[in-house]
Structure 1
Amino acid sequence: MLTQLVALSPGDGRLAGLVRRVCAQTLSLPPLPSAVEVSGPESEAEAVVAEFAEQFSVDVSAITGEQRKRLWKQLGDSTFSVVTQIYIADFVPRVRAGLEALGFGSEHLGWVNGPVAWDHGTEPSDLVFNDFLPAVARMRALDPVTAELVRLRGAAQHNCRLCKSLREATALDAGGSESLYGDIERYEDSTQLTRRAKAALRYADGLIWTPAHLVADVAAEVRSGFSEAEAVELTFDVMRNASNKVAVSLGADAPRVEEGTERYLLDAEGQTVFS
């Protein structure tokens, strides 16, 4: 599925090439391949997209209302599609960095050294939200409490108001609690969180904030404390959770409840089911 995401090149491929270059430079990571090599913006619209993509990668919560307004003005109905392309350009390189640090890259990154069969027809948001994210959500190697801890950490780091208001039912039934989740903010000092949970949170922080400089000791902790299937799922979970950056960037992350939290179930099909 990563290969399918990498192969997306809608329209003439310029915007895809542009955001892939911008995000990679911002992250100091190898860029995703592009059907069209773009050295930089060549129009006002491309300059607006490049500025938005850079801030999306640096800290999505700091995107301003003015930046959103300019993006909508330049892109109109294609805004959501382009922001989804920015999400791909921003996070697939992080996944590559994580899997390579864990020593699992060759098994999951076939597009790195192989040719890419470019897909000019598939809508990026359709592939991401209807296929990729549910496929990751269907993975079940990682225990639900660890998965929820990592999800909530990502929610806080990206300041997604909706994600912070949600609680996954399977994790709650498996021992998750507000007391435990309250320790996520300062997890290093927690007496409730296990060494395994802290290792997962350190790894998630690394992918979110310093993907080009993942600490060897953190990767070693994950390799020693998790099976390969769990570690791979953990990596993909961080990317799945980071899809909240699309909503946050567009100011569409309002919670469904006015106060407190809302319980939901991530079902066997990888779909979110609210109570």
Structure 2
Amino acid sequence: MVMNAHADTSWSTDSATGALARYAPEAEAALNELIALSPARLGPLVGSVRERCAVTLSLAPVPAPDLGVATPASRSKGHRVALEFAEQFCVDVSSVGADMREALIGALGSRTGAFVTTLYVADWAPRLHRVLDELFGPDPSGWTGPARWNESDDDPWPAVDAFLRSVGRLRALDSVTTELVRLRQARQHNCRICKSLRSRSALSAGVGEGTFGEVDHYQDSTLSERHKAALTLTDAMIWQPGYISDDVIDDVRQHFSPVEAVELVLDLTRNASNKIAVATGSDEAHVSEGVEIYDVKEDGTLDFGLSAPTG
């Protein structure tokens, strides 16, 4: 269990689970639905991939249904290929190449889409849990599993989309911070479509390409200390989620309110869904030159192909 090294009742008296429930109840419910996903066609692979991701990231795994976890001796070649893909997905998705994709499709066939969607949950739910535990302190009962598992073989993507939209409806965090961390993740994951997008709301707030470009060297940039704290947390969640320093957590607590911090962590989890597109090679940008203007609508969905603000 993560120790509450950052308890500060002047900042928040909530535990991690309490803060998520208080500040983002819809997103919490949608996240729980994601964790409950256990497509029957994947069987014990759900538990195996959650365990492999956790070991790779040095984090506690999200709960999995009691379907067993295949031992190394009993794993089929397809099972081993899937777990190797999962490990690379967690460590650096930008290094997933055509050979790995073809091997995964050869191993899983029609189950590939459901697997990669399930992999996103196995990869990022533990990161979210760890950071919220560090920010707020863990609940004594920990992060419990769902009351029921969804073992349907329906397409799991709608559950992911519901989570993404629930996070998109949050409005505590300012649009510039939201866009800067999104761009940092886009560039770290090397998502072509995400790198080509610019938020109309952030542009309307007065920032431009000069500011956006500073995310690549933010530590020695002219960005505010608040933005540097958010971007440092972004890098920590991407590259070293099991070893986030006290300084990183303390800086977030200094520059963000509890409700903003919860939204920031959820934004980073939402943005990480771009790993699905990168891993499957479906991240081609909509534009061949320049950037595309988008915005997040009130219902949490994205609106593409907008005009840039004037004035």
Residue 34 and residue 60 in structure 1: after superposition, are their counterparts in 2 closer, same or farther (change >3 A)?
Answer: same
What are the residue-to-residue correspondences of 1:56-205 with 2, within 5 Å? 56-103=89-136, 105-106=138-139, 112-113=143-144, 116-121=147-152, 123-129=155-161, 131-191=162-222, 193-205=223-235
Residue 242 and residue 27 in structure 1: after superposition, are their counterparts in 2 closer, same or farther (change >3 A)?
Answer: same
Tell me, yes or no, if the aligned pair for 1:102 and 1:219 is still in contact at 8 Å.
Answer: yes
Q: Which residue is 1:215 aligned to?
A: 245
Query: Quick one: which amino acid aligns to residue 213 of structure 2?
Result: G
Tell me, yes or no, if the aligned pair for 2:32 and 2:146 is still in contact at 8 Å.
Answer: no
Query: Quick one: which amino acid aligns to residue 146 of structure 1?
Result: T
Take 1:21 and 1:112, find their aligned partners in 2: how far apart are those partners?
15
Take 1:81 and 1:65, find their aligned partners in 2: how far apart are those partners?
19
C-alpha displacement of 1:76: 2.1
Aligned residue-pair number: 271
Deviations 1:213-233 (A, max 9, x none): 111111111112111110000
Query: Quick one: which amino acid aligns to residue 32 of structure 2?
Result: T
Deviations 1:202-246 (A, max 9, x none): 011111110001111111111121111100000010011010000
Picking from 39, 43, 53, the partner of 1:13 is 43
- TM-score w.r.t. the length of structure 2 is 0.84
Residue 104 and residue 237 in structure 1: after superposition, are their counterparts in 2 closer, same or farther (change >3 A)?
Answer: farther
Take 2:36 and 2:218, find their aligned partners in 1: how far apart are those partners?
38
Take 1:211 and 1:156, find their aligned partners in 2: how far apart are those partners?
18
Tell me, yes or no, if the aligned pair for 1:203 and 1:222 is still in contact at 8 Å.
Answer: yes
Residue 226 and residue 267 in structure 1: after superposition, are their counterparts in 2 closer, same or farther (change >3 A)?
Answer: same
Tell me, yes or no, if the aligned pair for 1:3 and 1:111 is still in contact at 8 Å.
Answer: no
> Greater CA deviation, 3-12 or 143-152?
3-12
Q: Which residue is 1:55 aligned to?
A: 88
Take 2:145 and 2:84, find their aligned partners in 1: how far apart are those partners?
30
Take 2:146 and 2:272, find their aligned partners in 1: how far apart are those partners?
27
C-alpha displacement of 1:175: 1.9
C-alpha displacement of 1:102: 0.5
Take 1:111 and 1:119, find their aligned partners in 2: how far apart are those partners?
21
C-alpha displacement of 1:126: 1.5
C-alpha displacement of 1:157: 0.5
C-alpha displacement of 1:160: 0.4
C-alpha displacement of 1:2: 2.1
The reply to whether residue 241 of structure 1 matches residue 271 of structure 2 is: yes
Q: Which runs of 5+ in 2 are unaligned?
A: 1-29, 307-311
Residue 259 and residue 147 in structure 1: after superposition, are their counterparts in 2 closer, same or farther (change >3 A)?
Answer: same
Q: Which residue is 1:22 aligned to?
A: 52
C-alpha displacement of 1:28: 0.8
> Greater CA deviation, 154-163 or 114-123?
114-123
- TM-score w.r.t. the length of structure 1 is 0.94
Tell me, yes or no, if the aligned pair for 2:179 and 2:199 is still in contact at 8 Å.
Answer: yes
Tell me how large the CA RMSD over aligned residues is.
Answer: 1.6
C-alpha displacement of 1:104: 5.5
Residue 113 and residue 81 in structure 1: after superposition, are their counterparts in 2 closer, same or farther (change >3 A)?
Answer: closer
> Greater CA deviation, 72-81 or 214-223?
72-81
Residue 32 and residue 40 in structure 1: after superposition, are their counterparts in 2 closer, same or farther (change >3 A)?
Answer: farther
Name the larger-Rg structure. Answer: 2
C-alpha displacement of 1:80: 1.3
Take 2:178 and 2:292, find their aligned partners in 1: how far apart are those partners?
17
Take 2:110 and 2:302, find their aligned partners in 1: how far apart are those partners?
26
C-alpha displacement of 1:99: 0.3
Take 1:105 and 1:233, find their aligned partners in 2: how far apart are those partners?
18
Q: Which runs of 5+ in 1 are unaligned?
A: none
> Greater CA deviation, 42-51 or 10-19?
10-19
